[in-house]
Amino acid sequence: MGRVVLNIAAMIAAALALAGCGLADSHAVWPDFMRTKVAEPTLEAPPDVKQLVRLHLDSVFTAASAPRDVQVSPARHDLRGVGWTACVRAELTSATGKPLGVQTYRINISSGTIYDRQRVEPEDTCLAENFEPI
């Protein structure tokens, strides 16, 4: 019985010690010198989207789609992170050789690399962007 009480007391002490870690965060009511400092995320410089897409066209379109008249929008800061987003559109051809027309994709860029792309939906803001040829 004494061992059980001792284990419970040890668990409570550990829980209280761990709970104290969050008491001095940046939103606490403590004086400034006692608060944890929040590091501001550093925002990298906007990428040269034209050059990046030109050099890595295969990151956005498949070779079989034979992209023509490729255009890009300016880079915008990604509100969900420290990277950038841009829009890319081009005339594409299907795998069977039929024209698909103009297709628009949103690309995500971080550290000078295109790491994601997705087709835009009709309500997407890409459709209102200003595009320039690469």
- Amino acid making up residue 103: Q
Q: Is the pLDDT of residue 86 over 90?
A: yes
**CA 27: distance to chain centroid?**
26
Tens-digit pLDDT profile for residues 1-45: 667 666 676 666 665 555 555 555 556 676 776 667 766 666 678
Could you read off the pLDDT of 94-123 as tens digits, one per residue? 888 899 999 999 999 988 899 999 999 888
Question: What one-character-per-residue DSSP string does the chain give?
Answer: -HHHHHHHHHHHHHHHHHHGGGTTSTTSSS-GGGSPPPPPPPPPPPP-HHHHHHHTGGGTS-GGG--EEEEEPPPEE-TTSSSEEEEEEEEEE-TTS-EEEEEEEEEEEETTEEEEEEEPPTTSGGGGS--EE-
pLDDT on residue 3: 73
pTM of the model: 0.66
Nearest-angstrom CA–CA distance, 19 and 10: 14
pLDDT the model gives residue 44: 75
